[in-house]
Amino acid sequence: MNINNRPSGIYQIHLPKYCFLFVTILISSCQNAQELKTEQYFAEGFQLYTTNCANCHQTDGKGMANLYPPLSGSASIKDKALFACIIKNGMKDTIVVAGKKFSRPMPANSKLTELEIAEIITYVSMKWSADSTLTSIDLVSKSLQQCAAVD
Ligand code: HEC
């Protein structure tokens, strides 16, 4: 009888199991951290939207008459780079959204930080577009460099 075979036999059976468990815990805790961050961005974004945008685009994102365009259903919010630039620099154009023409200028938000813009985009995109997770500061940062170059 070889006693030494027993423990190694046990390890052979159980080690992969523990490894799997460990990796699962690791992955799920990463997911939780990302989910928590998304919730924070969404909550902050809601506050910032309420203070900086809802006057015109309204709390429900549907805009107002032919003065302020709706954000829900707008193609511009799906293009994150464009969206970031519009928030930061405002816009002065004539656009048609959902069959209505809008030609009033939107003021710039030069005081909003990149984090705040990311939070607003997160809120708007999760609320009125198809996003299920946050929009990163990094993406906003890169987008703003691009629109600054165009202007
Ligand atoms: C003073 C009113 C006002 C405020 C405040 C305002 N907007 Fe606007 N927004 C407008 C107007 C007016 C337009 C249309 C501009 C044009 O026709 O050139 C517009 C256009 C937009 C568009 C483009 C819509 C499209 O379909 O192309 C987006 C996106 C947008 N606003 C998001 C925001 C966000 C986010 C905020 C808050 C940070 C904000 N706006 C604050 C008035 C406002």
The CA distance from 49 to 3, in Å, is: 69
Q: Please state the CATH superfamily assignment of the domain spanning residues 5-150 in this structure.
A: Cytochrome c-like domain (1.10.760.10)
Task: Give the predicted TM-score (pTM) of the model.
Answer: 0.86
- 52-106 pLDDT per residue, tens: 999 999 999 999 999 999 999 888 999 999 999 999 999 999 999 988 999 999 9
* Nearest protein Cα to ligand 1, atom 2: 56
Nearest Cα to Cα of residue 129 among 86, 93, 82, 79: 79
The CA distance from 148 to 140, in Å, is: 12
* Nearest protein Cα to ligand 1, atom 16: 93
- 18-30 pLDDT per residue, tens: 778 888 888 888 8
Residue 41 CA, ligand 1 centroid: distance in Å? 20
The CA distance from 81 to 145, in Å, is: 10
Residue 138 CA, ligand 1 centroid: distance in Å? 23
